[in-house]
Amino acid sequence: MSHTAHIRSHRKPRRSASKIAMRAGVAGGVLSTLAVAGASASASAAESETTQTLELPTLTADLSAQVARSAEATQLAAANFELQAERDAAAAKAAQQAEKNLAEAKKKEAEAKKKAEEDARRAAAARASRSSERVALAAPAASSASTSASTATGSAAAVVAFVKAQVGDAYVSGGTGPSSWDCSGLVQAAFKQVGVDLPRVSQSQSTAGTQVSLSNLQPGDILYWGGAGSAYHVAVYVGDGMFVGAQNPSSGVVEKPLSYDPPSGAVRVL
C-alpha cells in the first residue's frame, strides 16, 4: 500500500455527465431565450423607429397648417384693426364737420334774427314818425281852419283858385292841360297864371323856392314827396289842411287832407 493511500485527494470529484448535460441544456435555453428577447427587442426598436419616421411628416404638416392659420388670423386681425381705426377716424371727422356746420347754422340764424329785429324796429320807428307827422299836420290845419282861407290873397289866392278849378280832371303822364295833367304840369300851369315860371319837373320844383316847415304852411305853398331835389310828386297847399294835386290815373286831380298822404316837405315861391 502506498504511503499516501490514506490521504484523500485534493481534487474535487468529477461531476457526472448527466448533470453537466442538464446544465448545458439550461444554459442553452437561457441563451436561446435571451437571443429571442434580443431579436424581439431589436424588431420592436426597428418597428418603433419606422413608425416614428413615418409619423414625423404628418406632425410637421399639421404644425405648418397651424402656423399658416395663425398667420392668417393675425393678418385678419390686423386688417380688422386698421379698418376699425379708419372708421373711427372717419366718424371723428364727420362729427367735427357736423359740429362746425351746426355752429355756422346757429350763427346764420342769430344774424338773420338780429337783422329781422332791426328791420322790425326801423319799420316801427318809420310808422311812429309818419303818425307824428300826421298829428303835426292835423293840428295846425285844425287851428287855422277858420283863417287859412282868408289868408289866401293876391297871387296865392289865384293859384289856389286855379288848382281847385281843375279838380276832377284826368291824370295823364306828361299832361299840361287844359283838361288832363300830371302833378308837375298842374303846378307849373297854376303858377304861370300869376307870372311865375316854374321848372317843368317835380325834382326841380321841390327846390324852386324857400324851404318851409310843414307846421307853418300857407296857401299857395308847393308840397313835395321824396327828397328836396329828388322829389317824385308835387301838389299845392290850398289851406284848411288840404292840398290839390294830380295824383294818379285812377284818381285824377283831387283835393285831399294832408293826413291822406303826408308830404316830405314844402317850398314857398310867393
Domain ranges of the chain: 144-268
pLDDT over 80 (residue 154):
yes
Does the 144-268 domain belong in CATH 3.30.70.1060?
A: no
Count of residues for the chain? 270
Inter-axis angle of helices 154-165 and 183-192, to 10 degrees? Answer: 140
DSSP designation for 235: E
Task: Tell me the pTM.
Answer: 0.48
Which amino acid makes up residue 121?
R
Q: Rounded to the nearest 5 degrees, what angle is found at the Cα of 11, between the Cα atoms of 6 and 12?
A: 115
- The pLDDT of residue 3 is 53
Task: Give the pLDDT band of residue 87 (cuts 50, 70, 90).
Answer: confident
Cα distance between residue 237 and residue 222, in whole Å: 6
Q: What is the mean pLDDT of residues 24-46?
A: 50
- Give the three cell numbers for residue 21: 448535460
Residue 132 is predicted with a pLDDT of 55
Q: What pLDDT is stored for residue 189 in this prediction?
A: 97
**Contact call for residues 128 and 189 (beta carbons, < 8 A):** no
